[in-house]
A and B are shown apart, each in its own frame.
Chain A
């Protein structure tokens, strides 16, 4: 009897890239920002990240068990969502808020719409908005960074946590212009949600993702470039001490822009696939963020909304930017 060999459609060799490897790469890229969060906000930040990740993985496993789907937790995508969700919380958040946020992100935003690759919104961002709407005060209770104090935020009683305004809130309130120095903004020594503050750490992660070819330059570059360009045009100041918070560089280093551009807007399933689509989508995010920050008093931190709105239109963008087939002269619809 002859041996019967495996028959499968060509190609018979495959690239080494796997979904899990991509997700693990995103986790690696998020690590510097996670470490920065722990440095500035204490071990409490690390615990929040841990709880959030654990909740995300558990919810993914439990939902798929109930829905009799294959256990997908091995692909690490829930870990990414858990980390990103924690990055969207203030360091002073109660433990249950992290757990609830991850549950919302995984079950409501991701699994209800079909699981991996099917969610039309970024799960972590959509969950953040739901948390903000539901527990607004908790989600705006900004702890002051206390670099190097591992136990910051662990002591009893609310009075121990010093609260402060985020750079963008400070700008909104007027008066105390440029409350935080550019260097503090860059390394993350400012109040804010866990993952957004250290631009340095986020950029290290972003460059890692670009080098690993997990993300493409189009979305982050167009996002940041369009936002900075518009802000510069409006205020007329790239950076100057007098212009303070109104200068483009100050705006660039404030809020969730860097986190959003590299880690949120680049979410595969809620962003366009086409090259021109990515450019339009990235630029659209930048324009919306500019509008929210500049003209809407209540939405100083508009990054989440800007990205979610672009998520919703991304299928349309993808349709109108359908690429030209090689050899076709006219653009095909």
Chain B
């Protein structure tokens, strides 16, 4: 059933098995045990990989740069612990990429690097200096996209940004790390948002929070009042995929992003609450991004929200939460709708990981059946696409037709697969079509 809410098509409520968000939303964030050894991947963001600046055997301090960023859509990585570099190795990322990594043994001194000192006169910093701090702190979008934040906050002369949108929707089921952060670090988030406004020269800021987190909205309102910032906190109905960029920008500003248009071109930029907190931390305390909050939930003995050093092994975090309970078939990094399933648990945490979820048989699909054309995928598609058509043409590799059916507008939220009564992997078909269309376009560009 198409629900046109504030002019937005689609969107659904997701059923959660077990307790879902309730399992962790009341649990304060606690620090995870300091890892004995960290594996820091040198590609934790969109864009080019980092260049290793640490050598095997070298002593490193916490917050020291170990992987430099060479281009603009890249972010440096820092030593998350103090200790000794064991070796330069490789590791597998959640998305399957095999990438260089720096392995560091922790000496448990937590000795900060000399560059990481608190700043006293932050009000004197101008936009360029602030951007430089964010760039050097290696901050990326912490909601999963891992887009370098400095690139996002750099003003563009031809399309000035007047509104910064703070994303506190957290519409993926099970995850509560943003919710907890808004409750526990609301002032830090508010502070980071104000810095972001200064970098962009944006006079306005709006916060979007789903109506299942009214306490978080209250905490954020209080925080803005405390620092004297005039920021609107809007409570929106909790529906999945409303936290995505286009949808949220539309819901809060009524500005529509046409296909291929970046948010900046309509004068808006979106930040995740975790990212905002990281900005404040970098500017005031001089600390680069070396840890983040992760929700561990699902079939995990003691669900928790943990502050985790980048590079900690996922298996160790699960052990710290009492291990997996009986019947776990799938372990997912990120949310259940867009996260990546893991073969094994020997991967390190990277900056974009916001959840570690374990699921049982309920997550293992039966064989797909034929499409019955019920239309549910279209009725609930947030982009108003016809996913069943894209699925149909993708089966015969008709990428030209997929393009005609606007496959490129798909944001891979997974709703079409979720609602499909025939259990087809509709969203995967759309993602495949997008990749194939990109290849075709690149080939065309080469020829032409």
Contact = CB atoms under 8 A, between A and B. Distances in A.
Interface of A: 2-19, 21-22, 75, 77, 115-118, 213, 216, 268-269, 271, 273-275, 322-329, 332-333
A63 to B, nearest CB: 15
Given A4-B343, A75-B369, A117-B371, A325 B383 contact: yes
Contacts of A2: 344-346
Given A6-B363, A10-B412, A11-B336, 9 more contacts: A7-B330, A13-B15, A14-B417, A22-B372, A268-B372, A269-B372, A323-B378, A326-B250, A329-B256
B421 A11 contact: no
Nearest to B431: A9
Contact of A11 (B246, B406, B427): B427
Interface string B302-342: 00000000000000000000000000111110001111111
Contacts of B343: 4-5, 7
A14 B418 contact: yes
Interface string B4-29: 00001100001111000000000000
A212 B303 CA distance: 35
Contacts of A13: 14-17, 173, 336-337, 359, 362-363, 418
Contacts of B405: 322
B1 A273 contact: no
Nearest to A13: B336
A3 to B, nearest CB: 8
Contacts of A323: 378, 384-386
Given A13-B17, A16-B15, A216-B1, A322 B386 contact: yes
Contacts of B157: none
Contacts of A213: 1
Residue of A5, A12, A271 ringed by the most chain B CB atoms within 10 A: A12
21 contacts: A5-B330, A5-B344, A7-B342, A8-B363, A8-B365, A9-B427, A9-B428, A10-B337, A11-B417, A12-B332, A13-B173, A14-B365, A18-B423, A75-B369, A268-B373, A273-B373, A323-B386, A325-B384, A327-B259, A327-B409, A329-B256
A21 B374 CA distance: 13
Residue of A8, A17, A326, A332 ringed by the most chain B CB atoms within 10 A: A326
Residue of A5, A75, A118 ringed by the most chain B CB atoms within 10 A: A5
A9 B15 CA distance: 18
A17 B15 CA distance: 12
A333 to B, nearest CB: 8
Residue of A13, A22, A77, A324 ringed by the most chain B CB atoms within 10 A: A13
B414 interface: yes
B49 interface: no
A103 to B, nearest CB: 21
B372 A117 contact: yes
A19 B421 contact: yes
A216 B3 CA distance: 13
Nearest to A323: B384
Nearest to A21: B421
Would you call the interface of chain B mostly helix, strand, loop, or mixed?
loop
A274 B363 CA distance: 30
A261 B112 CA distance: 73
A326 B9 contact: yes
Contacts of B330: 5-8, 12
B414 A4 contact: no
B421 A18 contact: yes
A273 B345 CA distance: 42
A250 to B, nearest CB: 33
Contacts of A322: 386, 405
B162 to A, nearest CB: 19
A17 B419 contact: yes
A22 B421 contact: yes
B257 interface: yes
A22 B431 CA distance: 27
Contacts of A329: 256, 258
Nearest to B380: A15
A18 B331 CA distance: 24
A12 B427 CA distance: 11
A75 B372 CA distance: 11
B386 A12 contact: no
B337 A11 contact: yes
B342 A5 contact: yes
A11 B425 CA distance: 9
B375 interface: yes
B364 interface: yes
B154 interface: no
Contacts of A10: 332, 336-341, 412, 414, 417, 427
B352 interface: no
B171 interface: no
A116 B17 CA distance: 31
B303 to A, nearest CB: 16
